[in-house]
Amino acid sequence: MIELAPSILSADCARLGEHAQAAVEGGATVLHVDIMDGHFVPNLTIGPPVVASLRKVTQVPLDCHLMIERPDEFIPAFAEAGVTWISVHQEACVHLDRTLRLITFHGCRSGVVINPATPVHTLDEVLPLVHHVLVMSVNPGFGGQAFIPSSLEKIKLLSQIRHSRGLNFRIEVDGGVHYDTVADIVRAGAEILVAGSAIFEHGSPRESACKLLRSARAAANESVQDLSSVGGGR
Ligand code: DX5
Ligand code: ZN
Q: pLDDT (tens digit, 9 = 90+) per residue, 38-61? A: 999 999 999 999 999 999 999 999
Q: Which of 64, 138, 180 to mutate to test the pocket of ligand 1 (most atoms within 8 A of CB)?
A: 138
How much is the pLDDT for 229? 59
- Render pLDDT for 200-223 as a digit per residue (tens, 0 to 9): 998 999 999 999 999 999 999 987
In 10 A of CB 156, how many CB atoms? 16
Q: How far away, in angstroms, is 234 Cα from ligand 1 center? A: 30
How much is the pLDDT for 189? 98
How much is the pLDDT for 179? 96
Q: Whose CA is nearest to atom 4 of ligand 1?
A: 143
- Render pLDDT for 158-175 as a digit per residue (tens, 0 to 9): 999 999 999 999 999 999
Q: How far away, in angstroms, is 216 Cα from ligand 2 center? A: 19
How much is the pLDDT for 219? 96
Q: Is the pLDDT of residue 6 over 60?
A: yes
How much is the pLDDT for 40? 98
**Confidence class of residue 233 from pLDDT cuts 50, 70 and 90?**
very low
Q: Is the pLDDT of residue 145 over 90?
A: yes
pTM listed for this prediction: 0.96
- Render pLDDT for 82-111 as a digit per residue (tens, 0 to 9): 999 999 999 999 999 999 999 999 999 999
CB of 43 within 8 A of CB of 10? no
**How far is 168 from 191, CA to CA, in rounded Å?**
12
Q: Is 34 a catalytic residue?
A: yes
Q: Is 72 a catalytic residue?
A: no
Q: Is the pLDDT of residue 73 over 80?
A: yes
Q: Is the pLDDT of residue 27 over 70?
A: yes
**How far is 172 from 213, CA to CA, in rounded Å?**
14
- Give me the chain's average pLDDT, please: 96
Burial 100-137 (b: 16+ CB within 10 A, else e): bebbeebebbbbbbbbeebebeebeebbebbbbbbbbb
**Confidence class of residue 225 from pLDDT cuts 50, 70 and 90?**
confident
Q: Is 195 in the pocket of ligand 1 (CB under 6 A)?
A: yes
Q: How far away, in angstroms, is 230 Cα from ligand 2 center? A: 36
Rounded percentage of the chain residues whose pLDDT exceeds 90: 94
